[in-house]
Structure 1
Amino acid sequence: MKIAIIGAGPRGIAVADRLVARSEKEKVNVEIKMYDPYPIGGKVWNPMNKLNHSLITNTVVSQVSFFIDDSIENPGPIRQGPSFYEWIQQIAPEYLKGSSVGKTYLDKLDLKENDFAPRGLLGLYQQWFFENIRKQTGKNSSLAYEQTEIKAITPVNQQYKIDFSGTSEKFDFVFMALGYGENKYNDEERTFAEFAKRNKLSYFGPANPSETNLDDIPATQAVIIRGLGLTFFDYMIMLTENRGGKFVQDGEQLKYIASGREPIIFAGSRSGLPLHARGRNQKGPSEEYKPRFFTKNNLKNLKNHTGNLDYNSFFKLFDKEIQYKHYENLIKDPDYSNIIHKRTNRFLRELRRNPASNYEKIAEEYHMPKNQIWNWDRILNSAYKADLHQSFKNWYIKYLDFDIEDASKGNKDAPYAGAYDILRDIRNLIRDIFENQFFLPDDSEKFLTKFNAVNNFLSVGPPLIRIKQLRALVDCHIVNILGPEMKVENDPRNKSFFAKSQRLETINAKSLIEARLPSVDNDLATQPLRLILNKYGWYHKTRYQKNQQQIILNAAQINPKTYQLIDRMGQVVPGIYSAGIPHEGVSWFTTIIPRPGVRTIIYKEAAIISKEIIDEIKKRTET
């Protein structure tokens, strides 16, 4: 049987690995072909992209491995192999010498286990892993890869004809891991783009930063960046360090030495705050926080008589878990441990007995410092609290200093960063709740808006080094952060873009960058394959109805238990499987790199999909 895998990033590679392992063990003949317009590893990790020498991963090297393990249910045959860090130490020095691209990364190997690697180096690890899979093929399997874009899929007599590079080929099964697609502009973006074209300005819409050429932005000229998420930090480095500037250590802080080629950056967002820094890593490759309150049993007990869980009850339990971890860390912190002296046990006992809504009052009674008393409004909306009559730059430096000092204490020990980091460790539990539809539609909508905002702000932040670099750039006025409620408009009178915020500041600039990735929106898709998937009704908005409630998700529908594609009529599309970003909203938090020993979603998907396909092949061949 022939299997096509569309997408050669981490998901495609993981499914290929599991298919080969299962087919060889179960003596089922498969011919697997992978397709992607980019090298193995996909667009994000493309080692041939020079920017991926300087743009870094968001996970430490010791917590990345493409070898499946027994934390996954029914994983198929398990084989041992090096983690990303072990590969860097043991294999990469010789492996990289084997290609011209690899040689350009030989000077990037001086990495410790808690360092963040260049993205291109992780792409090369994935290429090595793919070659390793091919070595596992034998009498029952073959694995090939072609660097090309798939243009269309057409059903033909219980098979699928795939069109690419002016030719086509038929397959019995298809797995798609499409990642972020290319979109046409929405109404607002199109207005900016057309205005820029008429007035010879530079507009950069939502895109992968490493695929964006910023050469048209001149030195010393103002540029507006809208968005302060992970994408912002990529653009920040591209416009500073990648233009010849240098960060140097100056006492306990970084100092930026400008090259003179940098523009002046004015950046902002709705909140006015960057994502929080990831705490300095203190956890082993597979080490996870074990929740005290936010447990499977406690969540199960919160379900009502219909078997559903309401969002408010869910969040209250989460709130208690994260706040308890914060205070537990705080009273162990040498800087604060003398506050309650011998009353530690009594303090923690009171927290355990009370709901999180009482924690602020309890903390005040124990004379906790005000900036260490957990307050959701202050955490999420700090920029709104800054004095309008005082320098926002000075306020921002203090804000970043506090984040840096806290995160430097580590993702286990820091009062705030250590609490934020538990979100990474309880994601599988949260994902199970969401994907098993414990929430009714109204509560699902609250989860996808309110909880996602909290999760992203607290736990998806950049490495600590990026916050230190941002502080240095703010200090020397190369980066200027605008206040909350940032808005951008066209300014026909001055033939420029115009930005303003709640702080009544105004900025005009000839360049505007949207610091975000393309949205998952089938209505805006422009890639030929996605247009075909829309045409057949295979990719469509998902409607979830229950108890007279309804939510419509801008995510393609799959069966979350099997990853089979479900068409517009609610029918399974036989032989087609899909996972990842196009299904965000049906699945949850799909942008993941495989981590060993923690039931990582990418290998959970791969184990299920490969078993589904191999079992279906057996049924077909037996009849």
Structure 2
Amino acid sequence: MSQAETPQTASASREHVIAVVGAGPRGTSFLERLLAHLDHVPDPVPQMRIVVLDPAAHGPGRVWDPEQSPLYLMNTPASYPTAAPAGETRQELAASAISLSFARWRRTRLGKLDDADYPTRADYGRYLTELHEDAVALLGARDGVEVEARRVQVTRLHRYDDKGQDGEGQDGAARSSRLGSAPCPYRLTCDDGAVLAADAVVLALGHVPARLSDSGQHLAEVAGDLGLHYSPPAIPTDVDVDSIPEGETVLVRGMGLNFFDLMIQLSAGRGGRFRHLPENPPGRRLEYHRSGGEPHLVAGARRGAPYRAKTTAAGFVPAGIRLVHFTDEAVEGAERRHDLLDFAAHLWPLVHRDVLCTYYRTLAAVHPELFPAGPDAFLVSFDELLADPGVGEQVLAVQGQHLLHEHAPDVLWFDIRSLGRPFDDLVFDSADHHRDHMLAYLEDDATTSAAGAASPVKMAIGALHAARMELKALISEGRVSTDSQVAEIEGWFEPLVEGLASGPPLQRIEELAALTRAGVVDFLGPDPVFDVDREARAFTAESPWVATEPVRAHRLVEAMMPANRVQMSCSPLVAGLLEDGLARPKEVVDVSGTARAGKGFDVTETPHRLIDAEGTPLEGVYVLGLQLSSVQWGTAIAAESGGDPRSGARTLADADAAAGSILQSALGG
């Protein structure tokens, strides 16, 4: 192929050219879905050339690199993720010849039969590599289909007019009207200088670099001035952990999943050893032995605590969880009465009732002795209270406490919101006092996780998680008001459910507790303030809730992913799409009626085609994954094996819709 390819030369070959930009999980799913659709097309199939473009390894991408440290674990059990339809998903999305879940691949390729364990990310990368290679091989084996792989970065996407010229600067309506008849209406410029003309473009970009926040930018600039070391948000495999010296104090901002990756790589990854003590209670079952190569990590986050560990109860949503209030019937009834759903007014009351119902039913089953006259009378009265739609959250709490005082006087009211900020209103008179409290918190979290389905707290969180999965479908279908998404879901519900239900496996909490006892990890406290002391030539961090001197360090690591906002993207492609007017952020309106740019691109309904700056959908340009964050929630997670395409397997449904639409266009439909 020539270095520069024009629409005319592509048209002369009568090929339908499909550019897949991004060859990670979503790009791979698109190829597998295209293969499945071709299985139902009678020969001869249309002449197609599929060009897959990604500078990272094709299949795993950067995040799932098979060569990454084996210490990095997935935060879902092996039974959960898939990049191809499996189980009940196949009832709606037809399987291809290569459709198999990660769990099945692990059993057949690695002989690992425990689907409840938490695999390495490298193993998931190997699964994606094989799935991608198989999809490419079977697509390329078809008459009339050619697949080409390029390890390049796409830096620009342009439209052509009907004369085969770059359409920049022309009137948008006139330009769009000619795209239907123009051959290969899109041109992609790559960082190696090549230019590709394409009929269809699939944007499966995944995580892309982003500009720093104001705080991060300030810290980075001062670090440059003072010779300090600042590590910006990044995917874990991009963090230069080898450059961090042993024994040095390192400030860490963020205590989510990236924090656990950093923690384990700078401890076990430096030669330290965890000794297993099975006779000890949960939270104390590991003892850490230093190698001497570890730095001293001092971590902080707004909530003051790390993400909670996942339960050991079976299932991604624990088996036995049943939503009895947040049901399709209840949601449809609210829609009939109110048209558009508001999260705070119509949905959260249902979710909250299922959380409370699950908590107290589990408590009654596990500890009936807490109810002197038996739990049955309480549960009947409590169900009646929960069934009353006229009782708001605050009244529900008061009346619920009255019922507890009558039937179970030693049982406290369960406040799911308080779990998100476990140290609210607690003041610590020293760093040691705070460390002791943190250890007690970690040990309690480990105990409740180890209890599995016998833990009222973890089962209540499981109900919250189950409700989140249903809420994702409602948001994707456009049934929840935008202002309540911005104010309520993004404002407080998303951080709450992420911190409670999206945490690491229990192993990581056990390891963190052991590292804390060994003095490798310490904590700042809630609401930490990260700053710079120019006179001391150091970063500083302190919590207003802990009475101790600020921690000073010459290194600060942001333990988080780059911001997933298209307007903050440093990707030349994403920035260029916005600059050239080929894309715009989806506009969202907050509760005050103020319009602002949302996180993701503005797109059509499924299949999600890009909408340009003038509001015109781009025929043939499809968006998959993270850049759909303004119309979907939870775009970073993999598809659920056997999941409903409306919710858990939404990423597969999106890829399937794009593949079907592109194939229909290639067939002249």
TM-score by length of 1: 0.90
State the Cα distance separating 1:179 from its structure 2 match.
1.4
Match of 1:282 in 2: 314
Find 2:288's aligned residue among 256, 279, 283. Answer: 256
For residues 31 and 424 of structure 1, the distance between their equivalents in structure 2, rounded to whole angstroms, comes to 42
Secondary structure, in 3 states, of the residue corresponding to 1:497?
Answer: strand
Q: What does residue range 501-580 of structure 1 map to in structure 2 within 5 Å?
A: 501-502=543-544, 503-505=546-548, 506-544=550-588, 549-552=593-596, 553-580=598-625
- Contact 1:278–1:421 (8 Å) recurs in 2: no
Shift in CA distance, 87/436, structure 1 to aligned 2, threshold 3 Å: closer
For residues 277-323 of structure 1, the C-alpha deviation after alignment (integer angstroms, 9 at most, x for no partner) is 00014128996843111111101212364511222221111001112
Q: Is the 8 A contact 1:442 1:551 kept in 2?
A: no
Q: Which residue of 215, 235, 243 maps to 1:208? A: 235
**Correspondence 1:36 to 2:54:** yes
Task: State yes or no: 1:615 paired with 2:664.
Answer: yes
CA contact (8 A) 2:478 2:631 kept: no
Given candidates 30, 37, 45, the residue that maps to 1:15 is: 30
- 1:222-621 equivalences in 2 (<5 Å): 222-250=249-277, 251-252=279-280, 253-283=285-315, 289-303=321-335, 305-312=337-344, 313-333=346-366, 336-340=367-371, 343-355=374-386, 357-358=396-397, 359-367=400-408, 369-370=410-411, 373-389=413-429, 391-410=433-452, 412-445=453-486, 446-502=488-544, 503-505=546-548, 506-544=550-588, 549-552=593-596, 553-599=598-644, 600-618=649-667, 621=668
Secondary structure at 2:255 match in 1: coil
Give the whole-Å Cα distance in 2 for the aligned partners of 1:280 and 1:605: 31
State how far apart, in whole Å, the 1-side matches of 2:337 and 2:622 are.
Answer: 34
Residue 128 (structure 1) aligns with: 130
| Structure (1 or 2) with the larger CA radius of gyration | 2
Return the alpha-carbon distance in structure 1 between the equivalents of residues 467 and 151 of structure 2: 37
CA RMSD of the aligned region, Å?
Answer: 2.4
Indicate conservation of the 8 Å contact 1:441/1:550, yes or no: no
Note the C-alpha offset of 1:414.
Answer: 2.4
The one-letter code sitting in structure 1 at the alignment partner of 2:159 is: P
Query: What secondary structure sits across from 1:338 in the alignment?
Result: helix
Is residue 488–residue 499 contact of structure 1 (8 Å, CA) maintained in 2? yes
| Distance apart, 1:211 and its partner CA | 0.8
Deviations 1:352-400 (A, max 9, x none): 2113624344334332655x64123531222234342371111111111
- Counterpart check, 1:24 vs 2:39: yes
1:139 and 2:156 correspond: no
Partner of 2:85: 68
How far residue 545 of structure 1 moved from its aligned partner, in angstroms, is 5.3
Q: Does 1:161 align with 2:187?
A: yes
* Per-residue deviation, 1:554: 2.8
1:90 and 2:108 are equivalent in the alignment = yes
Deviation at 1:24, TM superposition (A): 3.1
Task: Tell which deviates more after alignment, 82-91 or 209-218.
Answer: 82-91
C-alpha distance in structure 2 between counterparts of 1:404 and 1:548, whole Å: 42
Deviation, 1:441, is 3.2
- Of 152, 155, 169 in structure 2, the residue corresponding to residue 151 of structure 1 is 155
Change over 3 Å in CA distance of 1:545–1:392 after alignment to 2:
closer
Q: Any idea what the Cα deviations from partners look like across 1:336-367, whole Å, max 9, x if unmatched? A: 23222663332222222113624344334332
What displacement does 1:534 show? Answer: 1.5
State whether structure 2 residue 67 is matched by structure 1 residue 48.
Answer: yes
Structure 2's unaligned 5+ residue stretches are: 1-15, 162-181, 387-392
Paired residue secondary structure (2:221): helix
Q: What's the secondary structure of 2:640's corresponding residue?
A: coil
Displacement of 1:14: 0.9
Provide the C-alpha distance between the structure 1 equivalents of 2:317 and 2:309, rounded to a whole number of angstroms. 19
**Aligned partner of 1:47: which letter?**
P
Deviation at 1:557, TM superposition (A): 1.0
TM-score, normalisation: structure 2: 0.84
In the other structure, the counterpart of 2:221 is: 194
CA distance in 2, matches of 1:198, 1:9: 37
Quote the Cα distance in structure 1 between the aligned partners of 2:561 and 2:40.
Answer: 40
1:72 deviates by 6.1
Distance (whole Å) between structure 2 residues aligned to residue 364 and residue 88 of structure 1: 51
One-letter identity of the residue aligned with 2:625:
G
User: What is the alpha-carbon distance in structure 1 between the residues aligned to residue 212 and residue 297 of structure 2?
Assistant: 24
Between the aligned residues of both structures, percent identity stands at 23
Closer, same or farther: CA 448–547 of 1 in aligned 2, 3 Å: closer
Farther-moved stretch of structure 1 (78-87 vs 180-189): 78-87
Matched residue count: 598
Q: Matched residue of 2:639: which SS?
A: coil
- Decide which of 72, 75, 99 is 1:58's aligned counterpart: 75
Aligned-partner SS, 2:479: coil
Does the CA contact (< 8 Å) of 2:581 and 2:613 recur in 1?
A: yes
Q: CA contact under 8 A between 2:32 and 2:99: conserved in structure 1?
A: no
CA contact (8 A) 1:400 1:471 kept: yes
The aligned residue for residue 7 of structure 2 is: none
Q: Paired residue for 1:115?
A: 117
Question: Quick one: distance in 2 between partners of 1:344 and 1:499?
Answer: 48
- Cα deviation, residue 110, structure 1: 5.8
The DSSP-based 3-state class of the residue aligned with 2:127 is helix
CA–CA distance in 2 between the matches of 1:559 and 1:72?
25
Matched residue SS, 2:82: coil
Query: Aligned with 1:302: secondary structure?
Result: helix
CA drift of 1:91 comes to: 2.0
Could you tell me whether the CA contact under 8 Å between 2:417 and 2:496 is conserved in 1? no
Would the aligned equivalents of 1:581 and 1:590 in 2 still touch at CA under 8 Å?
yes
